Amino acid sequence: MSLFFRKLRTHPKVAPGMERLILRHIPQVFIFGLLGLSLPLLLARLFPISGSVTEVQRWIVTVDIYVISLIVFYCTAIFTVGFGALIVMIMKGPAYVADAYPLIDFDRPYDDKKMDR
């Protein structure tokens, strides 16, 4: 199995950048962001507007819908940023040998007349 995963020796080393910092801070940003986005839910229930019961319920349901949609958007954005940082981290990793077999027509270019057949 080690024959398939041989590292290239000529690949330059690349220093880690912002992707490591992003991946390190994603859990904190995720949790504190969810808490911050959930505050309107708590405030809508603790300090309801004055009015009839139906108006108060309509206000709370409206706040719930907006906050849930913001939370879904926020989770999607955090996942996208984290996935992008993970891809950059993997791409900066070591290079491996791929297609290490000799090509058949390496010395001569491909003949266009053969393609017409």
Using pLDDT thresholds of 50, 70 and 90, give the confidence band for residue 113. low
Name the nearest CA neighbour of 45 among 53, 57, 34, 35: 57
The domain locations on the chain are 18-116
- Rounded CA-CA distance 50/11 in Å is 68
pLDDT given for residue 28 in this prediction: 97
- Please, what is the average pLDDT of the chain? 83
Structure tokens at 24: 């390190």
Using pLDDT thresholds of 50, 70 and 90, give the confidence band for residue 3. low
- pLDDT tens readout for residues 21-77: 999 999 999 999 999 999 999 999 898 788 899 999 999 999 999 999 999 999 999
